[in-house]
Structure 1
């Protein structure tokens, strides 16, 4: 049931609603009898020292970001290492102005143990620059394993000064875990949630008071429809999102061979010498190899069954595939990246012509190899 009269959260000011628990302003109907009324997110911050993620559409999120540039703030941008190019906010700089940006990269626990972390950090810095973001530093963390947060807290302490701290990021990148950690380290939660708001700021931000009178400002997560994780059903999301370190799957392919990743995407090796391709994705995604000349027929006959996820019943909810043609330069290690699915590293010395079939709107690109 929707509220009969428009009411606002006394903690953050957002318009209250009782229909969608994953959206901003949600309040259970039984909580409407309380005075004052606060949204579920503010309730959890106040009573459990715990924030929760809510989502905001793209246009509203950009409008919200534009307000940050008017403040003197430290901006923490959290991204998902597994879906780096799908979760980073391209052009963030033009919204936050001259405010310093600290880039926090989550899910480092998914990478193999024998990894050169300096190389990963250098790769992140280069990718951020290509996305037009000027960063003061990179902090690698794992919310699941509680790794790297001590350094993050130190970085915030050194760089914050007397500024507020704004935390921004896409949905499902670990933003709530980061905010919760900052709350525990910096905020005295015996104080009430602030009811004062910055002039012109949207009411979907939550201001969490700090001991020095400043705030951690928790912003809603932005929903990027260009991520496959935003398109699949909740039932298939578990297969798509890895929860253990990635186990690379290496395929030696000749030109004219195809890899299917369930019924979610297809990789065609069109031209090039025989070479290896290394797939980094969730163990829940079944990879099927076939000849390119048989690929269309195989998909028509087995999508949603042998080629799954998704199942045939849920396949109709996924947008039709569109084709992306990518040319891997000679002598370079490159990743073919499919947002939300993972990436395929091309270990090529002679170059290759690749075609990727993925649901319409999903981000597909060629980038320098992460690993």
Structure 2
């Protein structure tokens, strides 16, 4: 028997995926249905009962908010799920404010509730499938070791989200292989890995096909702001349904399980996102969070630095080329080292000398955007020294990464604000 090599298998899988996408596109384009839209800002109605957001379909038990999953009540405005009319409204006050005015209503939210929900899901003896959403722009920060151990007892599909925001020149197959290597030590390393996006239709069609192919319970899980709810809404639109789940730049938008039916027999659950405790956005006010969550193609900015030069990220963190300059004997001069910053397009970068760094920060910290929530925030310095040549990415959770070529004697550092759980800063092999 002749065995196919890995390239041939990958080619066949790609051809199958393309055929599935074309089939779904043809189905959607050929299916004549009326345009769906919500009846009002506080309620929604699908054309057919039993599809779409079916959180309150059976009316068993208390009604829940279709935007975040919280139990609806009219007792305390500070509690999640508050509404004025429990029977007449589908969205709680918090979701209504976020959805229509992009405003956050401060309410008491308990992290332990999220963990209990996931723990209870995993206790079932029935066959289930988890879709584990990770953020390609925050690989270290969007993974939780304890969560991966928990879900490894069931079937898992890893969704590599926001893939469309990478530079178009990046090979997609290379991204999957890169992420798989990043998961080599994980108990879910043998899972299926899929590139996803809530924006690019080809990615959405592929995910809809995957979701519709399974009839057991399916759960979308992951860190807050990894893009779980946005993915589900995009799939609902592709499937001619109302995108009802509330999404925002704020953490913990989804508060409980939300049941979504793509067909009457096929459904998934959106679950609460676990808080990104190691994310740099925690050190700023919510008004600046647009700087830290990627919605447009990532920007590459290259700086050629001499030692003792610093690059500031707005008024919240800075990177320093500490030492290790290379001297060109032929030209009798120092060679500058290239550092490629992959950042949100809105993030301002400023170069200065390390001797002026603290003065620059103290003088401008109140005028820069984004800036820290606390005026007297302490900083933690992370230093990295290298003794060989290789391409690496220095990831800062919430700020993207810095790509550069290391060599013997090179030393760099990153200063980030001190937070309760610390901002995650990590060196990984280069992705691009």
Question: Which bin holds the TM-score, normalised by the shorter protein?
Answer: 0.7 to 0.9
- CA distances 1:23-51 after superposition (whole Å, capped 9, x unpaired): 9942431x23x27x76649x99xxxxxxx
Give the secondary structure class of the aligned counterpart of 1:258. strand
Mapping of residues 132-281 of structure 1, within 5 Å? 132-158=187-213, 160=214, 162-183=215-236, 204-209=256-261, 211=263, 213=265, 215-274=267-326, 275-281=337-343
Match of 1:309 in 2: 369
Conserved in 1, the CA contact under 8 Å of 2:129 and 2:217? yes
Match of 1:107 in 2: 162
Match of 2:424 in 1: 363
Verify: 1:339 aligned to 2:397, yes or no: yes
- CA distances 1:33-81 after superposition (whole Å, capped 9, x unpaired): x27x76649x99xxxxxxxxx9965433233222232232110011221
Shift of 1:109: 2.3
Q: What's the C-alpha RMSD, in Å, of the aligned pairs?
A: 3.4
Shift of 1:121: 0.8
C-alpha separation in 2, matches of 1:90 and 1:292: 36
Match of 1:82 in 2: 137
Shift of 1:204: 2.4
Conserved in 1, the CA contact under 8 Å of 2:80 and 2:109? no
Verify: 1:16 aligned to 2:16, yes or no: no
Conserved in 2, the CA contact under 8 Å of 1:259 and 1:267? yes
Pairing partner for 2:115 from 55, 58, 62: 62
C-alpha separation in 2, matches of 1:342 and 1:108: 14
C-alpha separation in 2, matches of 1:20 and 1:177: 29
Conserved in 2, the CA contact under 8 Å of 1:268 and 1:354? yes
Verify: 1:295 aligned to 2:350, yes or no: no
C-alpha separation in 1, matches of 2:389 and 2:74: 56
C-alpha separation in 2, matches of 1:142 and 1:213: 25
After superposition, the Cα gap between the structure-2 partners of 1:123 and 1:17, relative to the gap in structure 1 and judged at 3 Å, is farther
C-alpha separation in 1, matches of 2:363 and 2:240: 57
C-alpha separation in 1, matches of 2:408 and 2:189: 34
After superposition, the Cα gap between the structure-2 partners of 1:225 and 1:214, relative to the gap in structure 1 and judged at 3 Å, is same
Shift of 1:316: 2.2
Given the two structures, how large is their TM-score scaled by the length of structure 1?
0.77
After superposition, the Cα gap between the structure-2 partners of 1:145 and 1:187, relative to the gap in structure 1 and judged at 3 Å, is closer
Shift of 1:272: 1.8
After superposition, the Cα gap between the structure-2 partners of 1:356 and 1:276, relative to the gap in structure 1 and judged at 3 Å, is same
For structure 2, the residue ranges without an aligned partner over 5 or more in a row are: 1-60, 97-106, 243-254, 327-336
Conserved in 2, the CA contact under 8 Å of 1:110 and 1:244? yes
- CA distances 1:163-209 after superposition (whole Å, capped 9, x unpaired): 200111222222112223455678999xxxxxxxxxxxxx9222335
Give the secondary structure class of the aligned counterpart of 2:352. strand
How many residues were matched structurally?
Answer: 332
Conserved in 1, the CA contact under 8 Å of 2:385 and 2:412? yes
C-alpha separation in 1, matches of 2:197 and 2:233: 14
Give the secondary structure class of the aligned counterpart of 1:62. helix
Shift of 1:369: 1.4
Conserved in 2, the CA contact under 8 Å of 1:333 and 1:368? yes
Conserved in 1, the CA contact under 8 Å of 2:314 and 2:347? yes
Conserved in 2, the CA contact under 8 Å of 1:11 and 1:39? yes
Conserved in 2, the CA contact under 8 Å of 1:83 and 1:340? yes
Conserved in 1, the CA contact under 8 Å of 2:65 and 2:92? no
Which structure has the greater CA radius of gyration?
Answer: 2
Give the secondary structure class of the aligned counterpart of 1:84. coil
Give the secondary structure class of the aligned counterpart of 1:283. coil
After superposition, the Cα gap between the structure-2 partners of 1:166 and 1:356, relative to the gap in structure 1 and judged at 3 Å, is same
- CA distances 1:265-322 after superposition (whole Å, capped 9, x unpaired): 11121222352110000122221112222222222222232xx2235xx542684321
